[in-house]
Amino acid sequence: MSTDRVESALSDASAVDALEAALLSLLREQADDLSVRWTLQVRSVLLPDRVDDQGPEQAVETRALVDVLIGDSGVDEGGSEDAIGLGIRFGSSAFARGVSLHHVIKGLELLTGMTLYVMESAVARTDVARATAADGICLSRRLQSRAGLLSLAATQGYMQAYTETLREGFRHLRHDLRNPLGTIKSVLALMDDESVPLEARANPSFRAMAARNARSLEELIADRLSDAAALLPVIAGQDVPVRAIACAARRALRGEAERRGVQIQVEQGGAHGRLDAAGLELLLRGVLHAALQERESGERLRIGFEQPAGRANVVISCESGRAPILDDGVTDRLGTLARQIGATITASERVTVSMPLNVGDSGHPSDERRHSLGQEAGDSGDGQPRHDVGSAGEGHHGQASAH
C-alpha cells in the first residue's frame, strides 16, 4: 500500500474514532433513559398481553445491554465474553418466562433501532468537521455487529433452555412409558413360565392387567406424542391479542406509509388467544406493504377484525372503497405465504386474513383490559396511530424527536 493510501486510511480511522468518541459521550448520558424507554416498549408494545411486573427484559440488567450496544463495555466487533454471557442469560430467561423466540429477537432489534435513533439525533447536534456519511455508516456497522452478537447469544441461550426442557419432558415420558410396559412384560413372562402351575398362568386377571396397561400405553402415545404435543406452547403459538399483532405490522411499515402519504388506522376490537403470532405478523406486513404500493397520497387503509368460531380474521380495506390489492400476482404470492403458516387470505373489495385461534382458558379480556391493550399497543382511543411510548413530540423509537 502506498504512503498516501496509508495516510488516508489512518485519517479515515481517526475521523471515525473522533466521531465515535463524541457520540459515546452523548450516549452514556442517555443510557439510563434509553434503558427505561426500552423496558417500557418491550412490555407495552411487544408483549402487551403480559401483565406481570417482571418481564423478560428484567432477567438481566437493561443498562448492561445498552452498554454492550454502544460499546461502553469494551466490546469490539470480534466479540466479548461478557456480551455473549449477557445474551445467553437474556435468551434463557425469556424462554423460562414463556416468551417466544420471535419476541426475543424483536426486542433486541427494537433496542438496536432505539440506539441508532439516539445516535442519529446526536450526530445532528455534534460538530465533528471531519466526519462524513461513510463515517456514520462505519459506526452503524459496528453497532450492528455488536447487536448481531447479542442476537446470536440470545438465540443460543433460548435454544439451550428449549433443549433442556425437551430433554426433561422426554425423561418423564420414558419413565411413564416404562411403568405399563414393565407390567406387561412381567405378566407375559409369568404366563410363559412353565414352573408356574397352568391354572395360575391362565388366570384371567393376568390378561386383564396386560390389557389395562396396553391401553395406558396407547393413551400415553396418543397424548404425549401427538402432533399438538410435538412443540412446546412457547414455540407453537403465543397467547396474544390479535390487535396487538396488527399494530406491530402497522408500526413496521410506518416509514413507508409516511413516505407515500397514506394513513393506516387500526380499529378497536379483535380476538385474544393462542396463535402463530410471528406468522400472522409477517403475513400482515406483506399484505399492508402490497396495499401501500397501490395507494395514492391522502388515502387511508383501515384494519378491522372479525371473530368467527375458532378463527381470528383481520380485514384490510380502503376508506375510498377501492380494493386494497388489485395485482393478482401479488395476491397469489401472499396466498402461498398464508398456506405455509396455516392461514388463508381472500382478496376482493377488501382483504381478509384468517388464522386458526385457540382461545382455550385464556378467554377474552374485559372491555377495560382490552381498551388498555389498545392504548399500550401504540394507538389512541380513536384508533389513530400515535408514538409507541411517550409524548407526541417523540420519534418512532420512543426517543425525543429531532424536529
Can you tell me which residue has the cell 393478482? 328
CA angle 285, 246, 272 (to 5 degrees): 135
Q: Residue 224 — very low, low, confident or very high, per pLDDT cuts 50/70/90?
A: confident
* Cα dihedral 370, 374, 376, 381 sign: negative
The SS3 of residue 391 is coil
Claim: this prediction has a pTM higher than 0.85: no
Of the spans 35-44, 228-237, 382-391, which averages the highest pLDDT? 35-44
**Residues pairing with 315 in the sheet:** 304, 352
pLDDT of residue 263: 94
pLDDT digits (tens, 9 = 90+) for 244-301: 889 989 988 988 999 999 999 999 988 888 888 888 888 999 999 999 999 999 999 9
Q: Which of 25-39, 213-227, 307-321 has the highest mean pLDDT?
A: 307-321
Average pLDDT over residues 340-346: 89
Cell numbers for 165, please give them: 426442557
Distance between CA atoms of 343 and 350, rounded to whole angstroms? Answer: 17
Of the candidate ranges 126-135, 158-167, 339-348, the one whose mean pLDDT is the lowest? 126-135
CATH architecture of the domain with residue range 3-165 = Orthogonal Bundle (1.10)
Does residue 86 contact residue 68 with C-beta atoms inside 8 Å?
yes
Where does 237-376 sit in CATH, by number? Answer: 3.30.565.10
Banded model confidence at residue 205, pLDDT cuts 50, 70, 90 = confident
Q: Which three cell numbers stand for residue 309?
A: 368460531
Model pLDDT, residue 28: 82
Q: Is the predicted pLDDT of residue 238 greater than 80, yes or no? A: no
61 neighbors 71 (Cβ within 8 angstroms): no
- Count of CA atoms in the C-beta half-sphere (13 A) of 204: 0
Average pLDDT over residues 193-219: 85
Q: What is the per-residue pLDDT for 120?
A: 80
pLDDT over 70 at 169, yes or no: yes
Cell matching residue 327: 395485482
Beta-carbon contacts of residue 69 (< 8 Å; ≥ 6 apart):
111, 112, 115, 143, 146, 147, 150
Give residue limits of the domains in the chain: 3-165, 170-234, 237-376
Cα 238 to Cα 236: distance, rounded to the nearest angstrom: 7
CA 320 → CA 103, 265, 301, distances in Å? 35, 13, 9
**What pLDDT sits at residue 298?**
92
The mean per-residue pLDDT over the stretch 31-48 comes to 76
